[in-house]
Structure 1
Amino acid sequence: MEFPHLRTLMARLSFSFLLLHTTLFFSCIQSQSETFTVTNNVTDWLALLSFKDGITDNSLTELSSWNNSLHFCHWQGVTCGRRHQRVTALKLQQLKLKGTVSPYIGNLTFLRQLNLRSNTFHGEIPQEIGRLYRLQFLLMTENSFTGQIPSSLIHCADLRVIDLGFNNLVGRVPTELGSLSKLFHLSVGINNLTGTIPPSLGNLSSLNVLALLRNDFEGSIPDDLCRITALTFFQVSVNRLSGKLPSCLYNLSSIETIDVAENQFHGSLPPNIVFNLPNLQELFVGGNRFTGPIPNSFPNASSLVRLDLSSNNFTGGMPTNLGSLKDLVEINVGENQLGTGEPDDLSFLTSLINCTNLEKLAIVDNGFGGELPNSIGNLSTHLILFIMGGN
C-alpha cells in the first residue's frame, strides 16, 4: 500500500532539515567572522581553512595560530591588505609542511605572493591557481609536486617570478608562458620535464633569469631566446639538448652566467666569443662535444670568475694570456686534447700567477708533456685544488 501523503510529509521534513542545517552553518560563519570588515573576507577564511585541511602532518605546529581565536589576518604566514582585509600574501616557506595544495586556494583572488618553498607538498599544482589574476610571485621550489606545470598560469598576467624547481614535475613547459610579459624570473630546473624549449619564451623581454637545468629537454636552443636582451642568467645544463649554440647568444651584453654543461652540443667556440659579453662572470660548457681551439679572447671578459671547458674535444694548447683575469677563481679544462707532448706544454701556468684569487685549477687528462715550471710556487695563496693527473 502506498502513502503519498507520507512521502510528501517526509520530503518537506527533509527540506526543512536541510534549510535548518544551512542556516546554522552560515550563522556559525557569521559568529566566527564578527570582526571581518568585508563580507568577502569569509571567502578568504574558508579558503585558508581548506588549505589547512590539506596539510597532513605539521610536526612543528607552525599553523597552531590558525584557529578561531584570531582573525585570519593574524595567522602565521598570512598577510592582508589594510583597506579590504583580504589575503595578499601567503608565506609558509621552510616549515616542513606535508600535504597537498587545496584547489580552493584559487579563491584568494587578492593574493600577490604565494611562497611554499622548502616544504614537502606533493600532488599536482592545482589549475585553480590561474584564477589568482593579481599573483606576482609563485614560489614552490624544493617540494615534491608532481603532474604538469599548470597552463592556467597564462591568466596570471601580473606574474613576475615563477620558481618551481626541485620538484617532480613532468610534461612540457607550456608555450603559453611566453605571454607573461612582466615575468623576470623563470626557474623550472631539477624536474622531469620533457620536450623542447618553447620558442615563445623569447617574447619574455623582461626576463633576467631562465633556469631549465636537470630535466630531459631535447632539441636545440631556439634562436628566439636571443630576443631576451635583459637576460643575465641562462642555465640549461644536464639535459639532452644538441646542435650548435646560437651565435646570437654571444651578443647578449647583459649576460653574467651561461651554463650549457652536460648536453650534446657540438661545433667550436667563436674566436670573438666574449667581445660582446662585458658582464660575463661564469661560462660552463663542460661535458659536451665541442672541438677546435680555446679562444684567446677570454681576457676581454674582465669580470670572468669561473671557466669550465672540461670533458670536450678541445685541441691546440692552452691560451697563455689568462693571467689578466684578476677575478678568476676556477679553471677547469680537464679531459680534453690540449697537450702536444712538447716540453713547453705547461708554460701557460706561469701566466696564472697573476690570478691571485684562483682557488681551483684542473688540467687533468690532456696529454700535456714537459716539466712543471718553477713558477707554480707563486700561484695564488688561495689555491685549494690543483688536479693534473693523466698527462
Structure 2
Amino acid sequence: MEIPPMSSRAIWSFLLLSSIHVPCFFGSASPHFSNETDRLALLKFKHLITNDPLHSLSSWNDTLHFCRWHGVTCGGSRHPQRVTALELTNQKLVGPISPYIANLTFLRIIDLSANSFHGTIPEEIGRLFRLQYLRLTNNTFNGEIPANLTHCSKLKALDLYGNQLQGRIPTELGSLLKLSQLDLGQNSLIGSIPPSLGNLSFLTSLFLSVNSLKGSIPDDLGRLANLEKLFISQNEVSGTIPTQLYNLSSIIIFDVGLNRLHGNLPPNFGLILPNLQELYFGQNQFTGPIPVSLSNASGLVVIELEDNSFSGSVPMNFGSLKGTLSKLRLWGNKLGIGKGRDLTFLDSLTNCSSAVKL
C-alpha cells in the first residue's frame, strides 16, 4: 500500500503531536542548575563534614535544586538562584570549614553556631565582600582570627564567641566601620585591647570577656557613642576606667568584673549613665565610697561591687530602685564605720518589689 506524500504543515503537526509521547532523556538524572559554582562549593563544604548525626545535609544531593537544601537560602531580584545565606545552627555537625565557601560570592550570612566545627577559620572568607553576618559561636575553632576578615567591609556582626582562638585581636578590625556587634568572648586571646576598636562608631555591643587580655582599657573606647553593652570581665586588664567611658550615656550593661582595675568611681556615676541596668565591677581593686548617685540610674537591676576595697557607708537610697533592683552584692569590701547603724541600709531594700539577692 502506497502512503500518500504529506505536506510540510502536516509533517510539522505530526512531529509536534508525536513529541507528547516521546520522553526527554538527559545525560544524567540531575536537574538543571542555574549556577554550578554555588552547587559545587556547597558540595565541597559537605565533603569535609565528618559527622552529621542529625542528617542535616541529607537533602544536599542531586534530587533537589541546591536552593532547596536544608540551611541554604537563595535570593535577590537580579540573581535569584545565588546562595545568600548558609545557616546551620545547632546541628551537631563535625568537621572543618572548606575554603571553597569563598566561591559562594553572594553570601550575606554565615551562621554555623553551636556545632563542632574545628580547625582554623579559612582566610578565604575574607573574599566574601558582600558578607554582613559571620557567626561561628560555640564551636572549637583554633588558630588566630584572620586579619583579612577586614576585607569584608560590609560586616555588621562578627561573632566568634566560645571557641579556642589564640593570638591577639587584629588591629585591622577597627576598619570594619559598619560593625554593630563584635563578640570575641570566651577564647584564649592575648595581648591588649586595640585602640582601633574606637573607630567602630556603629558598635552597640563589644564582648571581650573570658580571655587573657592584659594592659589597660583604651581611652579610644570612649568614642563609641552608640555602645550599649560592654563586656571585658574575666581578663587581666589593669589600670583605671577611662573617664571617657563614663560619658557613654547609652550604656545598659557595664561589665568589667574579675580584672585588676583600680581607682575611685565618679560621684555622679548614676547621673552620667542614666540608662544603666547591669553593673558588674566585682573582684577588682576599686577604692573610695560607693556613689550615692547610683540610685539615679532608675533602671538598675544588678549592682555587683563585691571583693574590692570600697569604704565608707553604704548609700541609704538603694531602696528607691524599688521597681527594678534584684541583685546587690557588696560583700568583701571595707564598708561601714564600725557602728550599729552600718546595716540600716537594709531597711530601705524592703521597698523593693522584687526580692533582692545580697
TM-score (norm 2): 0.90
Matches within 5 A, 1:22-61: 31=28, 34-37=31-34, 41-61=35-55
> Which residue of the partner structure matches residue 127 of structure 2?
131
- Between the aligned partners of 1:259 and 1:190, the Cα distance in structure 2 is 14
Q: 1:273 to 1:82 in 2, by over 3 A?
A: closer
The answer to whether the 8 A contact 2:349-2:356 is kept is no
Which of 170, 176, 187 is the aligned partner of 2:172? 176
Q: 1:30 to 1:332 in 2, by over 3 A?
A: farther
Matches within 5 A, 1:154-173: 154-173=150-169
Which of 328, 334, 345 is the aligned partner of 2:342? 345
> Which residue of the partner structure matches residue 301 of structure 1?
297
- Between the aligned partners of 2:204 and 2:235, the Cα distance in structure 1 is 21
CA deviation after TM superposition for structure 1 residue 274, in Å:
2.1
The answer to whether the 8 A contact 1:93-1:117 is kept is yes
Q: Which whole-Å deviations, capped at 9, do the CAs of 1:321-366 have from their partners, x for residues lacking one? A: 11111211100001111133311111111111111123311xxxxx
> Which residue of the partner structure matches residue 310 of structure 1?
306
Query: Is residue 288 of structure 2 the alignment partner of residue 292 of structure 1?
Result: yes
> Which residue of the partner structure matches residue 328 of structure 1?
325
CA deviation after TM superposition for structure 1 residue 299, in Å:
1.2
Query: Is residue 214 of structure 2 the alignment partner of residue 218 of structure 1?
Result: yes
- Between the aligned partners of 1:267 and 1:261, the Cα distance in structure 2 is 14
Amino acid in structure 2 at the alignment position of 1:335: G
4+ aligned runs moved over 4 Å, structure 1: 29-34
The answer to whether the 8 A contact 1:250-1:274 is kept is no
Amino acid in structure 2 at the alignment position of 1:141: T
> Which residue of the partner structure matches residue 12 of structure 2?
none
Greater displacement, 147-156 / 232-241: 147-156
CA deviation after TM superposition for structure 1 residue 276, in Å:
1.4
> Which residue of the partner structure matches residue 81 of structure 1?
75
> Which residue of the partner structure matches residue 353 of structure 2?
356
Greater displacement, 162-171 / 333-342: 333-342
Identity %: 56
- Give the superposed CA RMSD: 1.3
The answer to whether the 8 A contact 1:33-1:42 is kept is no
Report the secondary structure of 2:126's partner residue.
Answer: helix
Query: Is residue 93 of structure 2 the alignment partner of residue 90 of structure 1?
Result: no
Report the secondary structure of 2:269's partner residue.
Answer: coil
- Between the aligned partners of 1:256 and 1:151, the Cα distance in structure 2 is 30
**Gaps spanning 5+ residues in structure 2: where?**
1-25
Q: Which whole-Å deviations, capped at 9, do the CAs of 1:140-199 have from their partners, x for residues lacking one? A: 000000011111111101100000000000011111111111100000000000011000
Report the secondary structure of 2:158's partner residue.
Answer: strand
Greater displacement, 172-181 / 337-346: 337-346
CA deviation after TM superposition for structure 1 residue 43, in Å:
1.0
Q: 1:86 to 1:197 in 2, by over 3 A?
A: same
Report the secondary structure of 2:286's partner residue.
Answer: strand
Which of 115, 118, 129 is the aligned partner of 2:114? 118
CA deviation after TM superposition for structure 1 residue 34, in Å:
4.9
> Which residue of the partner structure matches residue 150 of structure 1?
146
TM-score (norm 1): 0.83
The answer to whether the 8 A contact 2:114-2:139 is kept is yes
Report the secondary structure of 1:55's partner residue.
Answer: coil
Matches within 5 A, 1:195-274: 195-274=191-270
- Between the aligned partners of 1:107 and 1:64, the Cα distance in structure 2 is 22
- Between the aligned partners of 1:154 and 1:50, the Cα distance in structure 2 is 25
> Which residue of the partner structure matches residue 69 of structure 1?
63
CA deviation after TM superposition for structure 1 residue 273, in Å:
1.3
> Which residue of the partner structure matches residue 273 of structure 2?
277
CA deviation after TM superposition for structure 1 residue 227, in Å:
0.5
Report the secondary structure of 1:201's partner residue.
Answer: helix
> Which residue of the partner structure matches residue 103 of structure 1?
99
- Between the aligned partners of 1:233 and 1:191, the Cα distance in structure 2 is 19
